[in-house]
Amino acid sequence: MTPDVRPLVAGNWKMNGTRASLDQIKAIAQGVRTPLSEKVEALICPPATLLYVATALATDSPLAIGAQDCHQTQSGAHTGDVSAEMIADCYGTYVIVGHSERRINHAETDHLVRAKAQAAYQADITAIICVGETADERDAYQTLDILKRQLSGSLPDEATAENTVIAYEPVWAIGTGLTPTAQDVEIVHAFIRDELVLRFGKEGRGMRILYGGSVKPSNASELLAVDNVDGALIGGASLKATDFLAIYGAYETLLA
Ligand code: PEP
């Protein structure tokens, strides 16, 4: 945790979820309607097909709804893409950019991720910019070098604590059940914080840094308690309302 920073617990549904899954959104929207929501923000990023209905379901709830990617331009001849403006039009307030699945499966570069974050700012949406090393890079002791490069290349100069969230997601921890030790997470998050403060000064101090990669109800308390961990980005465990709410609820004790 970081003093005076409101944590964010975010779910990334990836390419999972049909209309039948909207019951989970309803349950999460209901479940976060607690006093804890004044201290901890909750967000679900369903697939684009469910975005508009999901925001409607979350209207009277503190639950925020976001998207998983956006194009770097506002509109045009880009078959299959969705713009940040379209996300905002569906009342989405966040967009994930630079997730490792997009960096790897769609060859997205730091330069492109930066342009997508700028498109999010233009549409008044907060960008969750993902960074993280692969297993090979970790084994070669390159983690901090990779993060330095990704942060410097993917974050626009206009990034602020308001419009930007960083998600540290070691690629080898995503969907594998593996997680770094709390000690390793602490070292990496402290490094990211230093980089942010070096570049953005006071704004960098307030930027939220999420941890992502196999977060579950069973390990949430330990990971969320680490210094400079200001929430989580959750894949698999966000698909079930009970699991997501159990992770969110870990803050009841942490903030007591
Ligand atoms: C993710 O893809 O953002 C993620 C963290 O996935 P999981 O929680 O399933 O590892």
Instruction: DSSP letter for 143, please.
Output: H
Angle, helices 143-154/182-200, rounded to nearest 10 degrees: 40
pLDDT in the model for residue 22:
98
How far is 35 from 121, CA to CA, in rounded Å? 29
Please count the residues of the chain. 256
97-135 pLDDT, tens digit per residue, is: 999 999 999 999 999 999 999 999 999 999 999 999 999
Per-residue pLDDT at 217: 98
Where do we find the tokens 């490792």?
100
pLDDT tens string 178-232:
999 999 999 999 999 999 999 999 999 999 999 999 999 999 999 999 999 999 9
Q: Where are the domains of the chain?
A: 46-95, 96-114+128-237
**Topology of domain 96-114+128-237, CATH:** TIM Barrel (3.20.20)
Among 82, 68, 76, smallest CA distance to 13 is for 68
Tell the residue nearest (CA) to atom 3 of ligand 1.
235
Query: 38 an active-site residue?
Result: no
- Residue 98: its pLDDT value, please? 98
The pTM of the full predicted model, rounded to 2 decimals, is 0.98
What is the pLDDT averaged over residues 159-171?
98
Measured CA to CA, the distance from residue 194 to residue 228 in angstroms comes to 10
- Which residues are near ligand 1 (CB < 6 Å)? 12, 169, 174-175, 212-215, 233-237
Active site residue 169: yes
Output the pLDDT for position 192.
98
- Residue 230, pLDDT score: 98
246 C-alpha vs ligand 1 centroid, how far in Å? Answer: 16
Q: Give the list of residues 6+ apart from residue 92 with CB closer than 8 angstroms, or none.
A: 51, 55, 65, 66, 67, 125
Measured in angstroms, how far is the CA atom of residue 247 from the centroid of ligand 1?
13
**Tens digits of per-residue pLDDT, 9-41?**
999 999 999 999 999 999 999 999 999 999 999
Mutate to test the pocket of ligand 1, among 96, 101, 234, 240 (most ligand atoms within 8 A of CB): 234
Task: Give me the pLDDT at residue 135, please.
Answer: 98
Q: What is the mean pLDDT of residues 239-247?
A: 98
